[in-house]
Each structure stands twice: as structure tokens, then as C-alpha cells.
A and B are shown apart, each in its own frame.
Chain A
Amino acid sequence: MSRFLLWGTALVMLVVLAGALYRQWRRNQRLEAQLEAAAADLQHLQEACSRLAPAGVVQRLVADGVAPGVQAAERKVVTALFADVVGYTALGERLEPAVLARVLNGYFQRMSDAIHEHRGHVSTFLGDGILAYFGALQPNPWQCDDAVRAALAMRAAMHDYNAELAKEGLPPLAVGIGIHRGPGLAGLIGSRERREYGFVGPTVNMAARVQTLTRTHEVDILVTDALRTGLDSRFVLTPMPPEMVKGIAEPVVTYAVREARG
């Protein structure tokens, strides 16, 4: 009897042990699956971040974290493109906010696609404006040509978009684009809570100022002399009269971009 009890107890303990082991094994499997999913998400996030900041910056952030005061910045020559909707204020007064938002979203999408297609990186949307860089994320010796090709693609995309807007009885949009190339400091800029990969220096300011000259000269794409020197001669340019702009002591020489030959 006692022998039977002993075997019975041993069997029960064995079953309990096996059950516990099985539960632990299932738990491990679940944890492994969660870890795997988390790792995949992290990899995905890192890949997505690589499109917003140079891979080296992302790597430093992943390895070191974003500590206050740490600046992952480097000096480089970048081409800045600034685009703005002409007559946006008047447009805002004419359209319902919901319609305006839809029209603007369509505009941003098309402009971003054109910039991305030509290896540009949209840094930020400022109201109705777009600031994009060429050569900021990866070295790009062809950044001037890329920026002007992107501007021409933006012009073509605007043309198509206006045809779509016209079908809906909406007013056409016009865009002014200023492009300049110059040195600056590229890196993570912002507060402790919110940072973004940006570029600091007079280059961005100049691109924005040149963009405002598109109204003065009644053209859609203007480039500076510094950009022109790096540009393929097959781009057809027309020199514009020098103009004073806010914050710059000397008159600024610009060129209107007509087309690309060949």
C-alpha cells in the first residue's frame, strides 16, 4: 500500500513537474517571440530613422542615447531648396479650411515625391513652405544638378496637380522655389524633448530669401550664382537683375531656370 502511495506521489510530482516545465517552455517561447517582434520593430524604426537623419547619426543615437547637450553635428556643404505657395494667404481666405487642408496635403505629397525622386530630403514643412536639402544625409557630389532637376520635377508636378484642381473647380496653385548651395553645420537641432536633423547656417536663409525674389522677377525657379557654378551647362538659365534682400548687405545675383536640354 505504502509502495503504491509512493509511486502515486512520484507520478503526481512528475506530472506537476512536467506541467511546470511545459508552462515555462511556453512562456519562454512567448518571450522569445515578443523579443523577436520588438527587435524587428526596432530595426524597422532604425531604418525609418535613417531616412530622416544620416545613418551615422542614427547609429550614435542608438548606441549612446540622446543625452542633453550632446550634439551629433558636422560641417558640410549642402544645397538648400525652399519652396512656397504664391498667394497662399488669399487662397486661405477663399477656401474652406477642410478643402484648403486637402489641397495643401496634395501639394505637399507631390512636391515631396519630386524632391525624394531626385535624392533630396524634405527637412520640414513651414506653413505652406517646404525646406529640403540635397547632400545632407549622404555625400552627394551631384547635389546642384539634383536640386534643379527636383525643382523642374516640382514644376511639372504642379502643372499636373493644377489640372486636377481645375476639374474640381478649385483655383490653381503657383509655387516659388529658391535654391542655394553653401556650407553650414548639419546635425540634431532642437530642445531636449524634441529634436530633428537640420542644417544651420546662412545657406538656408539665402534659399528662403531667393524664393521671395521669385515674386519680384515673376518666375517660378531661381538659383543663386553659387549654385550656378556647380550646375550642368545643359540647364537653360536666364540672369536676373541683382536685387537687395532682407538681411544680406550686397545685392543678390540670381538666375531663372527655364529648362534642361538633352
Chain B
Amino acid sequence: MATILERVAWEPSLIDPAPDRALEAYARRKWGMNNPALRYFAPVPWLARAVVDLHPEYGLLMHVSHRLAGLLALVVSQENSCRFCYAATRVMLWTQGLSLTRIQQLEHDLTRADLSPTTLAALAFARSQSRSGPPAAHEARDAIQRAGFSVESMKELAFVVGVTDFANRATTITAVPARGMERMPGRWHMRLLRPLVGRLVRSRLARGRPAPLDRVPAYPYAALVKAYEGSPIAPALGRALEQMWASPHLTRRCKLLMLAVVARGLGCDACVPEIGETLGSEGLSPAVVTQVLTHLDAPELDPVERLLVAFARETIWYEPAPLQRRARALRDHLSSEQVLEAIGVAALANGLCRMGAIVLDSR
């Protein structure tokens, strides 16, 4: 049964897959099965780990149900035209017992499907945040609270949407092959194994339990991590950010510039000041930062920064195939690890911004 995204143009993969046994074993321990996308992210360990560790349904959600999280991931992946994530989410829902007919029913018209008003409100929230992002955050936040979601539930919804935005971009920009995942529910052996796989997947799904934030983070988006204090999301997000900052393929300044460009492009008022302050401590004067954010370039930038500042902007609003081609062009100037890290940073920046706009909104 074809998915509705199968006609979205999709380039061949940018990165050669590099199977990593330790990483695959880690994913199997955590998820009950391996994710074929991980071998494409393996050369940059923080990115692969973040994809595994930030998956909301494995011990990170205390208030939002797994089923709702799955539907949110489906809607966001559809909005972002991410063929791989969309197909993977479909497979997850299918193995967990949702029939393909029911999934199709939901896909065809979510607004008119026989879902509860709160579920529809959550899906509308996910759609609005994927499409409009921070400028619509205040309105989306009000709507979700009117629908009866508590502040804690709302934060979890924002997390699910943000993390799906991150995973969508990571897999879309690297053009992880989607065909195998799209065809999976149609394969006879998968149909046969479905109850077993479903059981395995369900056995690993876990509700989140309160988890302390053992270290006070000291990096941009620390405020976002702190906002999740008490939830298992905080330490998981904190670790992913720490590992991203510690990764050696791109400089910290370059990563900060990419984060700043995405925040500016998305119009995230809550995110820009924190990043701007940190850029100051990296030796960039406010005038240079303003120049970069206003014109996406400055003489003070090094060649890698100049390339990636422009690239970060491309990841905000995009069509998959042209963005995949632009990312491929980076390979003429950067190593595979640098390209992959740049994709990871830009993807994470997009997710964090959408999360931050909801969670850090003080209006």
C-alpha cells in the first residue's frame, strides 16, 4: 500500500552508510529493533545518539500517550515531506496494532477523522508549529491550553513536534533511502512477523519517570533544558546538546552561527538573545553578529562558516530534493563528517527553535 509521500522527489543518499555494531546494539537495547537511518549518521556519533535518545516514546513522555505521540510524528513528518520518517512512523503505528486502513483514514483527512477533540487540537498544534513555527507559537500555545492540555502536557507536545522536526531534517537532508521502509508493510514476511515485532516494540515503549537534571547546563538553549527540569526530557536533551557542542568536526562558533541563523529565520524571539550573548564570548562583536544575521555573511567569517551560515538558512523552509542537492554541493568543500555534522546542527536548531518558542514563551 503506497504512502501519500511516495511521489515526493528524493535524491540518492548523500552519505555512504557505515554500519556500526555498537550503535545498532544500543538502538536495539533501547528500541527493540534497529533503525536503518542510524548507519547513515554513524560517522557523527552525537547525531546518531540524539536520534536514538530523543525518540519521545522510549521513556521520555510522562503525560502524553504513545499513540498521540505517534500521530503527532506522522503529521509533522507529512508536513515536512520526510518520506523516510513518515514511512517509519507508519510502520511503527502498524506494528503496534493500527490497521493500514485506519492509518489511511487518518492520513486522508485528519481534521475529519473520528478522533477526540483533544487529539484533533494536538494535531492542529503540531501542524501549525511545523508550518508557521515561532511566529504562531503564542496562538498555538493558547489553543492547546484551551483544549484542556496542562502546561506539562503542552511542553511534551512541543518536544514531540520539535524532535520530529529535527529527525525529519536529519533524514531528509542526508536523503536516507525511504523505499525499503515504505514497502515494509506490504512484505509478506513483515505481515507474518507483525505480531512478534509489535510485541517487541511495545515491550520497549516506556512511560517517562521523573529524572533529575544532574548538571546545570551552560550553553545556548540551557534555558530550554531547564524548562523541562523534573522531566526525563531535560537530561536527555542536555546530553544531546553537550555531545553536539563537544563534537570536533565543526567549531563551536560555527555551530552557534548556524543556530543563530535558524532562530532569526524562524523569527524566534525567545531563542535569539541567548545565542547572541554566547557568540559575543566567541570573539564576534555585536556588529559582526548583526551583520551575519542581517545579510548571512561577514568578512570576519572563515570559509566554512560562510558556507554553513548560508546552508543553515536553506533548512528552514525547503523542498526535499533541491535542499538535498544543495547539501550535496557542500561535499566539494567539506569532509563527510563536517557535512553530516552541519546537517545535524541545522536539523537540531530547527527543532530547538520550535520547542523554545512554545516552552520559553513568557507572554
List the A side residues contacting B6 at CB < 8 Å: 40
List the B side residues contacting A34 at CB < 8 Å: none
B1 touching A36 by the CB < 8 A rule?
Answer: yes
How many residues of chain A are within 8 Å of chain B by beta carbon? 21
B313 touching A138 by the CB < 8 A rule?
Answer: no
Q: Which residue of B lies closest to A230 (CB)?
A: B294
Taken together as a complex, chains A and B put the C-alpha atoms of A40 and B104 apart, in Å, by 11
- Interface status of B135 (Cβ within 8 A of chain A): yes
Q: Quick one: which of A1-56 are within 8 Å of B by CB?
A: 32, 35-36, 39-40, 43-44, 47, 55-56
- Interface status of B7 (Cβ within 8 A of chain A): yes
Q: Which residue of A lies closest to B107 (CB)?
A: A39
Taken together as a complex, chains A and B put the C-alpha atoms of A216 and B127 apart, in Å, by 49
- Interface status of A172 (Cβ within 8 A of chain B): no
- Interface status of B150 (Cβ within 8 A of chain A): no
List the B side residues contacting A141 at CB < 8 Å: 264-265, 267, 293-294
List the B side residues contacting A35 at CB < 8 Å: 104, 108
Q: How far is the CB of B131 from chain A (nearest CB, A)?
A: 5
Q: How far is the CB of A231 from chain B (nearest CB, A)?
A: 8
B107 touching A145 by the CB < 8 A rule?
Answer: no
List the A side residues contacting B111 at CB < 8 Å: 63
B131 touching A59 by the CB < 8 A rule?
Answer: yes
What are the interface flags for A149-186 relative to B under an 8 Å C-beta threshold, 1 for contact and 0 otherwise? 00000000000000000000000000000000000000
- Interface status of A87 (Cβ within 8 A of chain B): no
Q: How far is the CB of A19 from chain B (nearest CB, A)?
A: 24
List the B side residues contacting A145 at CB < 8 Å: 295-296
How many A-B residue pairs have C-beta atoms within 8 angstroms? Tell me: 53
B5 touching A43 by the CB < 8 A rule?
Answer: yes
B107 touching A262 by the CB < 8 A rule?
Answer: no
List the B side residues contacting A234 at CB < 8 Å: 295, 297
Taken together as a complex, chains A and B put the C-alpha atoms of A43 and B6 apart, in Å, by 10
B104 touching A55 by the CB < 8 A rule?
Answer: no
Taken together as a complex, chains A and B put the C-alpha atoms of A106 and B7 apart, in Å, by 28
A142 touching B108 by the CB < 8 A rule?
Answer: no
- Interface status of A201 (Cβ within 8 A of chain B): no
Q: Quick one: which of B257-283 are within 8 Å of A by CB?
A: 264-267
Q: How far is the CB of A146 from chain B (nearest CB, A)?
A: 10
A39 touching B4 by the CB < 8 A rule?
Answer: yes
List the B side residues contacting A243 at CB < 8 Å: none
Taken together as a complex, chains A and B put the C-alpha atoms of A44 and B7 apart, in Å, by 8
Taken together as a complex, chains A and B put the C-alpha atoms of A234 and B294 apart, in Å, by 13
List the A side residues contacting B211 at CB < 8 Å: none
Q: How far is the CB of B239 from chain A (nearest CB, A)?
A: 32
Taken together as a complex, chains A and B put the C-alpha atoms of A39 and B8 apart, in Å, by 14
Q: Quick one: which of B8-25 are within 8 Å of A by CB?
A: 8
What are the interface flags for B240-266 relative to A under an 8 Å C-beta threshold, 1 for contact and 0 otherwise? 000000000000000000000000111
List the B side residues contacting A43 at CB < 8 Å: 4-5, 7
What are the interface flags for B294-326 relative to A under an 8 Å C-beta threshold, 1 for contact and 0 otherwise? 111101000000000000010011000000000
B5 touching A138 by the CB < 8 A rule?
Answer: no
- Interface status of B196 (Cβ within 8 A of chain A): no
List the A side residues contacting B81 at CB < 8 Å: 47
- Interface status of B65 (Cβ within 8 A of chain A): no
- Interface status of B132 (Cβ within 8 A of chain A): yes
Taken together as a complex, chains A and B put the C-alpha atoms of A209 and B135 apart, in Å, by 33
A232 touching B297 by the CB < 8 A rule?
Answer: yes
A–B complex contacts, Cβ < 8 Å, 19 sampled: A35-B108, A36-B1, A36-B104, A39-B107, A40-B6, A40-B7, A43-B5, A44-B7, A138-B316, A139-B135, A139-B267, A141-B267, A141-B294, A142-B313, A232-B295, A232-B297, A234-B295, A234-B297, A262-B297
Known: A43-B5, A142-B295, A234-B297. 16 other contacts (CB 8 A): A32-B101, A36-B1, A36-B2, A39-B104, A39-B107, A47-B81, A59-B127, A59-B131, A63-B111, A138-B317, A139-B135, A141-B264, A141-B265, A142-B265, A142-B296, A232-B297
